[in-house]
Structure 1
Amino acid sequence: MPLFQNAAYFASAHYLHELPPEDGCVEVAFAGRSNAGKSSAINTLANHNRLAYVSKQPGRTQLINFFTLGSGAYLVDLPGYGYAKVPEAMRKHWQHVLSSYLATRPSLRGLVLVMDSRHPLTPLDRQMLDWFCPTAKPVHVLLTKSDKLSRSEAMKTLAEVRKELQTGWGNCTVQLFSSLKKQGVEEAEKVIAPWLSEGPGTGSVAPEH
């Protein structure tokens, strides 16, 4: 059974004080630039066509959406970032909310960072890594839309991104992923599943360099 097979909508938050109480829960968050394929990736991992809203218009996810996985675990869908038409006030609001959530949420066990394989490690992707990586919790990068690249292009991109992640941030893993072809699902589940099994108050520690 897919790791997120039983995911069901639980709650949404616009402000930090609206986040659900932790109560010993475990959370895995998904983040990504608008139109990078985050919602499609979540739906593919959950084997569900409409769990996360997919739109041809970038920037539609404007709330932090929590989906219960049962047993005190949650999948957290963070707002897409980098959409140029978002008003400046909204941009500043989400910059504060996202940075605070990523840096200070104790129940957050790891971050799945979704990047378009054709345009990885944008300045805003790097900003997300800078916010989260000081927590020493793990990051797993999904290079989505890998079906748009040739095999050689995809492997070259994978190697380059892996090298930069390990050099610049550490404690990061990366893989190719295609929602269209449903490729990379099992690989992603093997990485993410241990995060969800960690008990309250635990967390992964960054490797020494």
Structure 2
Amino acid sequence: MSIFRNATFETSVAQHAALPVGKGPEIAFAGRSNAGKSSAINTLAGHTRLAYVSRTPGRTQLINFFRLNCGAALVDLPGYGYAQVPEAVRRQWQGLLENYLKRRENLIGLVLIMDARHPLTPLDRAMIEWFSPTDKPMHVMLTKSDKLSRNEANKTLFAVRNALVPLGERVTIQLFSSLKKTGVAECEAVVAGWLGLAPSGGQ
């Protein structure tokens, strides 16, 4: 059984002070608005609407906690970087993200979602800079890879991997497609390693 299957919604918070007491290891998912984060979470969980997929990028303004069968939590962080929201809201999101990524003791790893067509934007690099000092593992998922040819996708994978070499072996990178449901097992294996679990034999 997949690690992410049968995930159940637990709570949503809008401020760092409202974060729940940690009940187990937490795997955070972050990404630029409209990079395909919610679709990726839904694909991993085998659920069409576990994470809300909005036609309006930047609509998800909360940290959402989903409990997994293994006892860990999948933590869906607000999409970052969407310009058409008030400056005060953007500042609140940034503070919430940065505080969670730097200070949350239960957080064991970050899955960073990037659109394969537009990877390593300045905001993606800022997210990496916030998280890197924690020395916790990070897994980069290059989503929407189906929109590139196989050659283009592989070139992008190589370029991103090369750019992140200075961060060492704690950073892993893969291609992913929610539409074609490719890359699920690879992400499963990485997160299973973080949790000290045997990877699932199926999706």
Scaled to the shorter chain, the TM-score interval is: over 0.9
CA RMSD of aligned residues (A): 1.1
Identity %: 65
Whether the 8 Å contact between 2:3 and 2:69 is mirrored in structure 1 is no
Between the aligned partners of 1:177 and 1:70, the Cα distance in structure 2 is 23
Q: Deviations over 1:63-117 (max 9, x none)?
A: 0000011343100000000101111001111111111110111110000000000
Q: Secondary structure at the match of 1:84?
A: coil
- Report the number of matched residues: 196
* Alignment-derived partner of residue 15 in structure 1: 15
CA contact (8 A) 1:5 1:46 kept: yes
Deviations 1:108-145 (A, max 9, x none): 00000000000000000001100011100000000000
**What are the within-5 Å matches in structure 2 for residues 16-31 of structure 1?**
16-23=16-23, 25-31=24-30
User: For each residue in 1:26-45, what CA deviation from the matched residue of structure 2 results, as whole angstroms up to 9, or x when unmatched?
Assistant: 00000000000000000000
Q: 1:74 to 1:126 in 2, by over 3 A?
A: same
Equivalent residue runs for 1:22-61 within 5 Å: 22-23=22-23, 25-61=24-60
- Counterparts of 1:91 and 1:179 in 2: how far apart (Å)? 27
Shift of 1:188: 0.7
1:176 is aligned to 2:199: no
Corresponding residue for residue 138 of structure 1: 137
Q: For 2:70 and 2:44, locate their aligned partners in 1 and report how far apart those are by CA, in whole Å.
A: 18
CA distance in 2, matches of 1:121, 1:10: 31
Corresponding residue for residue 185 of structure 1: 184
Q: 3-state SS of the aligned residue for 2:164?
A: helix
Kindly report structure 1 stretches of 4+ aligned residues shifted beyond 2 Å. Answer: none
Counterpart check, 1:76 vs 2:75: yes
Alignment TM-score, normalising by the size of structure 1 = 0.91
Alpha-carbon offset, residue 195 of structure 1: 1.9
The code of the aligned residue for 1:86 comes to: V
Partner in structure 2 of residue 89 of structure 1:
88
The CA distance in 2 between the partners of 1:172 and 1:121, in whole Å, is 14
Q: Is the 8 A contact 1:27 1:196 kept in 2?
A: no
**In 2, Cα distance between equivalents of 1:196 and 1:7:** 16
CA distance in 2 between partners of 1:77 and 1:197 (Å): 21
User: What amino acid sits opposite 1:36 in the alignment?
Assistant: A
Contact 1:28 1:196 in 2 (8 A): no
Letter in 2 for 1:90: V
